[in-house]
Amino acid sequence: MKIPASDRATSVVVSGDSPTRDRVARSILENGSSTAAALAERLDLTPAAVRRHLDHMVAVGAVEAREPRVYGARGRGRPPKVFALTEAGRDTFDQQYDDLALQALRFLSETGGDDAVMEFARRRVADLETHYHEIVAADPEQSPAEALAKALTQGGYAASVRQGPVGEQLCQQHCPVSHVAHEFPQLCEAETEVIGKLLGRHVQRLATIAHGDGVCTTCIPPKSGTPAPVLSSTSDERLSS
């Protein structure tokens, strides 16, 4: 009998090498798509050991190898593949929302309509504003985007700020509500609204985990009058919704 992908991915954390494979998976979750060399350095393992674990995780459907996205001039030789968690691999991590949340939102949609769902979504992200202002008050020297990334990380989104082709990119490596947001995009819309409000700029979602992307990516344009830096690096984020 063929084992479902989600069950095969779950087997990653019950095998004899589960502690190390869990570390590999969590490192990808928190840092985004990574090369074997980057994982080896981050986890203080040998490249050969990391590749052995990655081979197993690819075989069971927990991670997948991807071609890296290259910005700027490509150097000689073929760049190493990066490894990203699959949807089944993400399922092995605790989800804050399950079937009960979907049933509740479906009931709210049926009885109150889309406006009621959107109002719920906006109330849900209200805590993000509170956490953001607390972080800014504790360390006023950090940039607004960095403070927002910390606030999102506190909420389970494993967020970070990276330089993008134009301005900055807010990258959320994990989404605890991705399964719910796939059916109710209002959750993503409300989150995007509050991100723009807190940063004081019109931000744009480039990719979301809820729609099958490997990471939620939000473009933060430079402030008016600020020249955009030239980027020359590699990244595996999908930049299309």
User: Can you give the pLDDT at residue 14?
Assistant: 40
Confidence of residue 95 (pLDDT cuts 50, 70, 90): low
What is the distance between the alpha carbons of residues 216 and 148, in angstroms, rounded to a whole number? 14
Question: Do residues 186 and 219 lie in contact, with contact meaning Cβ atoms separated by under 8 Å?
Answer: no
Structural fold of domain 99-235: Muramoyl-pentapeptide Carboxypeptidase; domain 2 (3.30.1380)
Q: For residue 143, which of 220, 73, 84, 212 has the smallest C-alpha distance?
A: 220
CATH 1.10.10.10 domain span(s) along the chain: 5-91
Q: What is this structure's pTM?
A: 0.61
Name which residue leads in pLDDT, 241 or 177.
177
Q: What is the pLDDT of residue 47?
A: 92
Architecture of domain 5-91: Orthogonal Bundle (1.10)
For the chain, give every residue range classified as CATH 3.30.1380.
99-235
C-beta of residue 169 within 8 angstroms of C-beta of residue 218: yes
Name the CA radius of gyration of the chain, rounded.
Answer: 19
Cα dist from 85 to 18, 34, 198, whole Å: 16, 10, 30
Q: What angle do CA 64, 80, 166 make, to 5 degrees?
A: 90
Amino acid 179: pLDDT = 83
**Digit-coded pLDDT (tens) for 129-138:** 999 999 999 9
Please tell me the predicted confidence (pLDDT) of residue 51. Answer: 94
Sign of CA dihedral 133, 134, 139, 140: positive
Beta bridge partners of 217: 171, 207
For residue 59, which amino acid is it? A
The per-residue pLDDT for range 35-49, each reduced to its tens digit, is 999 999 999 999 999
Q: pLDDT-based confidence at 220, cuts 50/70/90?
A: very high
Tokens of 133: 């202002």
